[in-house]
Amino acid sequence: MAAKRKHPMLRRSQAMWVSRRVWQPRLVFWAGAISIGLISVFFAMLADESQILFHTLVGADTGWRFYLPFAATPLGFVLCAWLAQVFFPGSQGSGIPQAIAARHLREDEDRSHILSLRLVAGKIALTVVGLACGASIGREGPTVQVGASVMLQAARWGGMVQARGLILAGSAAGIAAAFNTPLAGIVFAIEEMGRAYEARTNGLVLTAVILAGLASLGLLGNYTYFGIARDTVAFARDWPLVLSCGIIGGGVGALFSLLALKIMRRIRRWNTLQPLWRTLAVAGICGLAVAGIGFASGGLTYGTGYAQAREAIEGTSLPSFFFVEKFFAGLLSMVSGIPGGIFAPSLAVGAGLGSTLGLIFGAGTGTAALLGMAGYFAGVVQAPMTAFVIILEMTGNHDNVIALMCAAMLGYGTARLISNEPLYHALSRVFIAEAIRRKRARDVDAQGSIASSGI
C-alpha cells in the first residue's frame, strides 16, 4: 500500500500511456473510415461532372461534334494507359483485384505497390479522365481500391497490425459509400473479398461501413442509387421471366468474364517484349472500337450506363440490342488497361438484357430490368448474395426479394457451369504473381550483395 501511495504520478502517467496506446489506433481508424466516405462522395461528383463534360462536348446532334469521340476516345485511352503504366503502376483496371491480392500478401512493401495514397490520387484522376473521354467504366470498383488504400495507410499511422482485416474493412466501406448500400458493403466483404472470412473482423467491417456511410449521408442525404423501383414481380405470371433473366443473364455474364480473362492473358503475353508501346497500342485500338460502338448506338454506350439503367428500372424500354453494344463497350474498356470498374456498366448491361427479355415475354420493363441486373451481375462476379443485396438496396423495393434471389442464384449457377474461375479472384492472381517476382528479385539482389561483400 505504501508503494502505491509513494508513486501516484507514475501510476497516472502509465494509465495515460495505456489510454493513448488504446485510443490512438481507434481514432486513426475512425478518421480513416470517415475519410473513405468523404473521398467517395468527392469521387462520385467528379465522375458525374466528367460524364456531363463528355456529353456536352459530343452533343446530341449529328454534326461534327458527334464524330469527336473517334479522336478523343482513343487518345484519352492512350493517355490513361501511359499515365497508369509510367506514373501509377498498379492502378489499372477495377481495383477490386488489387484489394483482394493485398489481403494475400504478407509484407507491407508488396502491398504498397497496389495500395497507397499515391494510387488513390492516380486511380481517381485516371478514372475521371477515362469517363471524360467516353470509356465504358464505373467508379465503384476503383472506390474499393481507394478505401482499402486509405485504411491500410491509417493502419500504418495508427500502429495497427490487423492489415488483412483493415483492407477488408476499407473495401466494404468503399462499396457502401459508393452506392449508399451499407448491407451490400458488408455482404461484399464476406462473399467477394473475404472468401475465408474471419469472425474477429466483424467489428472492423461494421464500424468502417457505418462511419463511411454517415460521412456520405451527411453530404448527400439518404438516397437510393437508382431511385425507387415501383414494379413488383408476380410469380404466377412472371416465373418464365425470372428463369430467363437468371439463366440467360448468368450465361452472358459468364461469357463476359471468360472473354475478359482470355483476352487479357493474351495481351499480357504479347506485351512481354515491349510492355509500354504495346500497352499503348492496345489502349488506342480499344478506344477507337469503343468510339465506334458509341457512334453506332447513338451515344448510349458511353460512360457508366447509369442513366440507361435507371430509365429501364423506371419503366422506359431500352433499344433491343443496347445490352450487346454495352457488353462489348465494357469489355473493350476493361481489357484496354485503363483504370476503371465494371460494376455500373455491368448493371447497365443487365438492365438492357432484362428490358429486351421483358419485351419478349410481355412483362413490365422495370421488373425485367431488375431481374436482368441480378442474373447478369451474379454471372459476371459469381457473387450472388452481393448481386441481389446491392440491387435491392439500390432500388428500395423489398417486395422483390425472393425474385431477385432466384435470378441471382440461377445466374451464379449458370456461370459456374461455363466458368469456374471468379473474375476478380483470377485477376488478383496477376498482382500476387508480380509481388512474388519482385520478392525473388529482391532476394537475388540481397544474395548478390552478400557475395560481393565477401561475407
Q: How many Cβ atoms are within 10 Å of 181's Cβ, its own excluded? A: 25
Specify which residues 366 forms β-bridges with: none
- CB within 8 A of 181, min separation 6: which ones? 175, 225, 389, 390, 393, 394
3-state DSSP assignment of residue 320 = coil
Q: What pLDDT does 455 receive?
A: 55
| 3 state SS for 62-85 | CCHHHHCHHHHHHHHHHHHHHHHH
- CB within 8 A of 83, min separation 6: which ones? 122, 126
Name which of 48, 31, 359 is nearest 178 in CA terms.
48
Q: How many Cβ atoms are within 10 Å of 30's Cβ, its own excluded? A: 16
Q: What pLDDT does 232 receive?
A: 75
- Cell 456511410: give the residue: 213
Question: Could you write out the DSSP letters of every residue in 30-71?
Answer: HHHHHHHHHHHHHHHHHHHHHHHHHHHHH-SSSSGGGGTHHH
Q: What pLDDT does 17 receive?
A: 46
What's the whole-model pTM score?
0.89
Q: What pLDDT does 16 receive?
A: 47
Question: Could you write out the DSSP letters of every residue in 5-20?
Answer: HH-HHHHHHHHHHHHH
Per residue in 32-50, pLDDT (tens digit) is 889 999 999 999 999 999 9
| Contact indicator for 290, 136 with CB cutoff of 8 Å | yes
Cell representation of residue 437: 517476382
Q: What are phi and psi of 339, to 5 degrees?
A: -65, 140
3-state DSSP assignment of residue 26 = helix
Exposure b/e, 261-290, CB count within 10 A at least 16 = b: bebbeebeeebeeeeeeebbebbbebbbbb
Q: What pLDDT does 2 receive?
A: 46
- CB within 8 A of 74, min separation 6: which ones? 283, 284, 285, 286, 287, 288, 291
- Given a cut of 50, the residues of the chain with pLDDT beneath it are 1-4, 13, 15-17
3-state DSSP assignment of residue 118 = helix
How far is it, in rounded angstroms, from Cα 98 to Cα 118? 14
3-state DSSP assignment of residue 352 = helix
- CB within 8 A of 329, min separation 6: which ones? 136, 290, 293, 294, 297, 301, 302, 345
Q: What pLDDT does 234 receive?
A: 73
Name which of 260, 210, 324 is nearest 93 in CA terms.
260
